[in-house]
Amino acid sequence: MAHQMELVPSNVGQAAESEMKIIAVEKANKPINTRFSGKVDYDMVLVVFRDSFLKKWDKMTPSPDTGLQGFDELATIGAGSFGRVKLVREKSTGNYYAAKLVLKEMIVKTKQVPHIFNEKRVLLSIDFPYVVMMDFCRKDFDHLIFGLPFINGGELFTYHRKVRKFS
């Protein structure tokens, strides 16, 4: 389930359209409104996001040992020295994810254990507009598996190199 932030008028009926207050709610497929009336609203938004992040940061639990049970593995969409990224589809919902499979052996061999734990904590804790967050984390005997939203279109770096400048 995706957690999103919705902006709603602070005083319904009395507030101008530009006066917005952020309320953390669970919404499915609802666009995020990011209009702010000024510095006060922006500061308030940052406080809400920070509090949400810290609450999740303090609530870390071990990943289940279920591997990719419940998912269909469709294709390998990337590979690197620590593992690969696969396109998977959740059988129960039909949702697509990019499953990052990181080899445990490589993490230990290269002494990256603290870094991978921090990556997991940050990706599970973050819930900001326009920033990718982790939807699930699992493990099996050989891999740590980070489930991220599948965003079609290739790597941002490749696109940036092609266009040279974002407009």
Residues 9 and 49 in one domain: yes
Phi-psi region of 164 (alpha: psi -120 to 50; beta: other; left: phi over 0): left
Instruction: Give the tokens for residue 143.
Output: 């891999």
pTM of this prediction exceeds 0.85: no
What angle, 0 to 180 degrees and rounded to 10, lies between the N-to-C axes of helices 113-125 and 39-57?
130
Distance CA 25, CA 5 (A): 6
Binding region for ATP: 109
Binding region: 109
Is residue 156 exposed (0-12), middle (13-18) or buried (19+ Cβ within 10 Å)? Answer: exposed
Distance CA 8, CA 50 (A): 19
96 lies in some domain = yes
93 lies in some domain = yes
Q: Which of 57, 82, 99 is the last residue of a domain?
A: 57
Along the 167 residues of the chain, how does pLDDT read in single tens digits?
Answer: 444 444 433 333 333 333 333 333 333 445 555 565 566 677 888 888 888 888 888 887 888 889 899 999 999 998 988 999 999 999 999 999 999 999 999 999 999 999 999 999 999 999 888 888 999 999 999 999 999 999 888 778 888 888 888 87
Distance CA 36, CA 45 (A): 9
Residue 2 CB neighbour total at 10 angstroms: 13
Residues 82 and 11 in one domain: no
127 lies in some domain = yes
3-state secondary structure of 19: coil
Q: Report how many domains make up the chain.
A: 2
